[in-house]
Amino acid sequence: MPDPNSMKGVIPYLVLGGRAGEACDFYALAFGATEMGRMPFPDGTPGLMHAQVGINDGCLMMTDYTAEGSSAAVNFGHLQLVVADGRAWWDRAVAAGCTVLAPYERQPWGDDWGLLADPFGVKWAVLEPGVPG
């Protein structure tokens, strides 16, 4: 697993119901993620107990574990990527298989922004800050 110093701030932890390994591979293709580690279940249960990728100097964790009686559904707003080259990030994600929910375009507040959904149901916003003034 990665250096604990790489894990700062608030880190999203996704429950992906048996698709965490597939998500790691997809995020490398769609968002240029760097794999930081995969840990299988120690008892041999199929899937991953923990997986972690680095994206845009941040960290994203995921698992296939679900507690009995819980839901594996993703139930939050979206992950937001703030990048200097938003169009390139957007185009790569769409080419990899993300679905466009809101087009990537200049917004009234001055930033370029769009919203995507990945094949696992996770929503991703891509934002390139506008030029101030």
Contact yes or no for 37/26 (Cβ under 8 A)? no
Q: What residue spans define the domains of the chain? A: 4-63, 79-128
Query: pLDDT at residue 73 above 80?
Result: no
Q: How far apart are CA 48 and CA 7, in angstroms?
A: 19
Question: Is CATH 3.30.720.100 correct for 4-63?
Answer: yes
Q: At what angle do helices 86-96 and 20-31 cross, to 10 degrees?
A: 140
The neighbour count for residue 90, using CB atoms within 10 Å, is 24
pLDDT digits (tens, 9 = 90+) for 30-67: 999 999 999 999 999 999 999 999 999 999 999 998 76
pLDDT for 80 equals 93
pLDDT at 23 over 60: yes
Q: Do domains 4-63 and 79-128 have the same CATH topology?
A: yes
- Kindly report the pTM of this predicted structure: 0.81
CA–CA separation, 92 and 31 (whole Å): 7
Using alpha carbons, list the distances in angstroms from residue 107 to 70, 82, 113, 130. Answer: 38, 14, 7, 9
pLDDT tens digit sequence for 85-127? 999 999 999 999 999 999 999 998 899 999 999 999 999 999 9
The label of the residue with tokens 């580690």 reads 37
| Neighbouring C-beta atoms of residue 123, cutoff 10 Å | 18
The fold of 79-128 is 3.30.720
